[in-house]
Amino acid sequence: MLETINFVILIAAGLVAVSVFTSLISFRVGAPLLLVFLLVGLAAGEDGPGGIEFADASAAYFIGSIALAIILFDSGFETRFSTLRMAAAPAVTLATAGVVLTAAIVGTAAHLLFGWSLLEGLLLGAIVGSTDAAAVFFLLRVGGVHLREMISATLEVESGSNDPMAIFLTFTLVSLVTTGLDEGAAASALAIAFIQQMGIGFVFGLAGGYVIVQIVNRIKLEPALYPIVVLALALVLFAATSMVGGSGFLAVYVAGILCGNVRIRQQPALKRFQGGMTWLGQIGMFVTLGLLATPSQFGHVAVAGLALALTLIFVARPFAVWICLLPFGFTRSESAFVSWVGLRGAVSILLAILPLIHGLPNAQAIFNVTFLIVLTSLVLQGWTIKPMARWLKLIVPPRIGPVERMELELPGGSDHEIVSYRVHPDSAVARGDRIPRWARPVLIMREGRSIRVQKAGRPQPNDQIYILTSARQVPVLDALFAAPAEVAHDPALFGDFQLDPNAPLADVGAIYGFRVVTGDQGLTIRELMTRELGDDIEPTDRVPYGSIDFIVRQIDEEHGITDIGLAVEHIETDEPNLPFFFSRDDIADFSRRRYRRLRARLRRRGQVRRQRSLEKAASASQTAVPSHDDGGTEPLSPAPHERSQETADALKPISAPQPANDAESRQTPPN
């Protein structure tokens, strides 16, 4: 017995260690790290070199559920309220309607490809309907892809909030397949279950998050115990919500958002602990699910499974994203990228275990197809996220370079904390910029020796400086101590000259020789660019004006413009011409053009009809009428030389006038 326990510990710890070490290879070759974890599990399984036979679906589901709850709580903890406010509407639409649309399309395709019942097909569609939070968070936060904040915020919030919807659909459809309800009763049960699970999950999440914050802030414990208490309470919330019929996954995500956006004791320690637990959860979940799979069984469903995976990637997900994002003004490129970052991962495989546990017909086939879809998604999409963003012209330069920072919380629940920075040789502080007065340096470590601030002089490269400051001011200090961004001085991105945002537009026009429109004479450059760009402003955004371009170089935390560049020549943005993902503006422009063409066509037809009516009237006026004397005829109208001027004018041919903007009316609609 003891030997068996020791063997299990050896295997489990060894797999975790191997997964961690393979991450080094992943970063070198650019492979999705979560794909590597999954391959480690497959290699250790019964069909791999490891030869470990693991077929306990219930144990795999238990491990995966705990890991997913931890991941979702940390995802919520790292989500800022500002991010949520910015992307809540499009992200929630994707997380609800998007999951339903994707599940419906994939389910119908599965019904046709495999010959299963429609409910079984929809069950598979629900299983793969959500994006994977772990995969998306890793690629966006660790993968080095810098996107416009609106896009990254939408993807993060969607991936964190759509798992509960997919889990709800899967649980409900499993119950419907088991009970064999008719379609009408199934739809009614689905609606009732949705209201119950989502409503209870959201309410319990708010209440549970509040309780966690109050307990942590009011009870005095050893510092090392706070992260354990928070994690334990989050899992208690997950289990309790699930037991009363709510969505435990939604509850822990909502609780994580609440805990991460209020003042909570030992917050820096909580972030570090939860980061480690999230990595452990991802490794454990992916390796366990890889062990459960049997690749030798994939051949029976390989062709149809691959076809279904391509249907999901190139049809279902793009269509759902286009429909859901259409009201929110996303461009074609932005919608295309959001659809491409629809990675499927461990959540889909975890949900595919449910049919196995309940003993449904075709359960093993559903699991194998799901595994193939996840592998295809991670390989095809996960490996090409950065090239796709670059091709769609969506990558923006980072605001600051890398920064080495460590936070230390002060005892007593103070609003201040001690932040430690290493002075980068090329940082603004090393170049002579002063540390703000509201930030008080308390200690400097130089060449392994501690030096009093009063005797240290100016900060030197590689100094370790400990600063007492408010937590709200940390982003400002990050910019001072960070290395410069790699592209910060690229003229192609930021222009040839640097301008003061408060400079009058008229003065700049006089200096650089471009004409300023009369209505813009009183504007500053910042006011002009804010008017043209709106609220969603990012570095490298351009505003063409006359013969030059104004370019956003830097912005503050509130997306206000703090630095502007000027390019003396226009640079055309060669964005790909996508045949799909028509934006709201594209559809509006197309509708206006079609309306103008239709109006011009109707106007020409009306003019032609009027001309024909006049011609008929003129012809009829020449028809003979009976004479009063001999019963003969006489012309209805006088001889040509006797016609009135009014009749002569009426008989003149009328040429149909062209529409005011005929060139525009002849434009063809978008492909």
Which DSSP helix (H) or strand (E) runs through 550? strand 548-555
3-state SS, residue 499: strand
Cα–Cα distance, 591 to 584 (Å, whole number): 11
Residue 392's pLDDT is what?
87
**Secondary structure of 347-388 as H, E, C letters:** HHHHHHHHHHHHCCCCHHHHHHHHHHHHHHHHHHCHHHHHHH
pLDDT of residue 386: 84
- HSE, side-chain direction, 13 A CA sphere, residue 22: 20
Biggest CA–CA distance in the chain, Å, is 136
Cβ contacts of 305 within 8 Å, gap of 6 or more: 298, 368, 369, 372, 373
- Which parts of the chain register pLDDT below 50? 624, 631-637, 639-644, 646-671
Q: Evaluate whether 122 touches 362 at the Cβ level (below 8 Å).
A: no
DSSP string for residues in 605-651: HHHHHHHHHHHHHHHHHTSEEE-TTTS-EEESS--GGG--HHHHHHT
Residue pair 362/116 in contact by the 8 Å Cβ criterion: yes
pLDDT tens, residue by residue, 367-386: 999 999 999 999 999 888 88
Hey, what domains does the chain have and what are their CATH numbers?
Answer: 2-50+57-180+193-391 (1.20.1530.20), 405-481 (3.30.70.1450), 491-567 (3.30.465.10), 587-665 (no CATH)
Q: How far is CA 25 from the centre of its chain?
A: 27
Tell me if 60 sits within 8 A of 53, measured CB to CB: no
Residue-level pLDDT at 664: 43
pLDDT of residue 551: 86
Give the pLDDT confidence score for residue 102 in this predicted structure.
96
Residue 575 CB contacts under 8 Å (≥ 6 apart), including other chains: 332, 333, 392, 393
pTM of the model: 0.76
Would you call 401 exposed, middle or buried from its count of C-beta atoms within 10 A (0-12, 13-18, 19+)?
middle
Residue 230's alpha-carbon distances to 224, 270, 272, 427, 463, in angstroms, are 11, 8, 13, 37, 35
Q: Which of 275, 217, 268, 274 is nearest to 416 (CA)?
A: 268
Residue 668: what pLDDT?
Answer: 45
Classify residue 657 by its DSSP letter: P
* Predicted local distance difference test score (pLDDT) of residue 132: 83
From residue 366, give the alpha-carbon distance in Å to each of 98, 107, 118: 22, 11, 13
The 10s digit of each residue's pLDDT in 509-519 is 888 888 888 88
DSSP H stretches of helix in 162-266: 163-179, 183-218, 226-243, 248-260
Nearest to 402 by CA among 273, 472, 488, 471: 488
Cα dihedral: 90, 93, 98, 100 (round 10): 180
Distance (Å, rounded) from C-alpha 257 to C-alpha 542?
A: 34
Determine which helix (DSSP H) or strand (DSSP E) holds 74, and give its type and residue range. Answer: helix 57-77
Q: Using one digit for the tens of pLDDT, what is the confidence trace for 484-500?
A: 765 555 666 677 788 88
Residue 335 and residue 46 in contact, taking contact as beta carbons nearer than 8 Å: no
d(CA 124, CA 448): 59
Per-residue pLDDT tens digits for 421-469: 888 888 888 888 888 888 888 888 888 888 888 787 888 888 888 888 8
Distance CA 75, CA 259 (A): 11
pLDDT for position 394: 84
Per-residue pLDDT tens digits for 519-554: 888 889 888 888 888 777 877 788 888 778 888 887
Over its C-alpha atoms, the chain yields an Rg (Å, rounded) of 34
What pLDDT, on a 0 to 100 scale, did the predictor assign at position 109? 96
